[in-house]
């Protein structure tokens, strides 16, 4: 049944049906056009909801056992010991893979940091050599006075004298 047929049978609007589907998270099938297609189980749930609505029960207080999305494929039989041990083995395998990957990442990061430190040490040693060379060059020129450049000085312009006539104009 489609949404319109269900709505007519229940005496409600199609929008109301859509609201119930979203509110109760019903797992309804859709056709190739994306329209809902209801089976007997879904119709029974919707009719139960409709009856409770007619009795004045708010949606939040309705007590309905609903099959939720994804629960249709849930395991209904208990898990056997063999299945349980296989699951545990898979979990342990995945944990080992994660640990290996994490240690690989950490190793890579350490190598990168070591390279960066070595590069920085090389730069520091080059700078130290340059400072020593400048110091030796400075010692060789002790007789030359050190002049600090203060930049160009601003020269004050003399105040202009104004004539008496310009004051009145």
Question: Has residue 11 been placed in a domain?
Answer: yes
Question: Has residue 73 been placed in a domain?
Answer: no
Instruction: State the DSSP H helix or E strand holding residue 165, giving kind and residue range, or none if neither.
Output: helix 164-168
Per-residue model confidence (pLDDT) at position 72 = 47
> Any idea what the CATH number is for the domain that residue 36 is in?
1.10.1660.10
Question: Has residue 157 been placed in a domain?
Answer: no
Structural domain count, the chain:
2
pLDDT-derived band of residue 34, with 50, 70 and 90 as boundaries?
confident
Tell me: the pLDDT tens digits for 131-169? 988 888 877 776 655 555 566 666 666 666 666 666 665
Q: Are residues 101 and 54 in the same domain?
A: no
- Cα–Cα distance, 42 to 8 (Å, whole number): 15
- Cα–Cα distance, 43 to 9 (Å, whole number): 10
Per-residue model confidence (pLDDT) at position 61 = 79
* Domain extent for 96: 79-140
Question: Has residue 166 been placed in a domain?
Answer: no
Question: Has residue 126 been placed in a domain?
Answer: yes
Q: Is 37 exposed, middle or buried (0-12, 13-18, 19+ CB in 10 A)?
A: middle
Question: Has residue 146 been placed in a domain?
Answer: no
pLDDT-derived band of residue 75, with 50, 70 and 90 as boundaries?
very low
Whole-number percent of the chain with pLDDT over 90: 33
Q: Are residues 57 and 88 in the same domain?
A: no
């Amino acid at each position: 049944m489609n949404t319109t047929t269900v709505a007519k049978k229940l005496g409600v609007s199609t929008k109301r049906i859509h609201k119930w589907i979203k509110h109760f998270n019903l797992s309804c099938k859709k056709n190739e056009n994306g329209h809902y297609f209801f089976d007997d189980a879904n119709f029974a749930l919707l009719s139960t909801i409709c009856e409770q609505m007619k009795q004045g029960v708010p949606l939040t207080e309705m007590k309905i056992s609903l099959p939720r999305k994804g629960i249709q494929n849930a395991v209904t039989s208990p898990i056997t010991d063999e299945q349980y041990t296989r699951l545990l083995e898979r979990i342990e395998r995945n944990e080992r893979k994660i640990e290996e990957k994490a240690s690989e990442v950490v190793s890579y990061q350490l190598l990168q940091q070591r390279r960066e430190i070595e590069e920085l040490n090389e730069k520091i040693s080059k700078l130290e050599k340059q400072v020593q060379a400048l110091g030796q060059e400075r010692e060789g020129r002790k007789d030359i006075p050190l002049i600090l450049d203060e930049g160009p000085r601003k020269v004050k312009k003399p105040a202009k004298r104004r004539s008496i006539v310009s004051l009145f104009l």
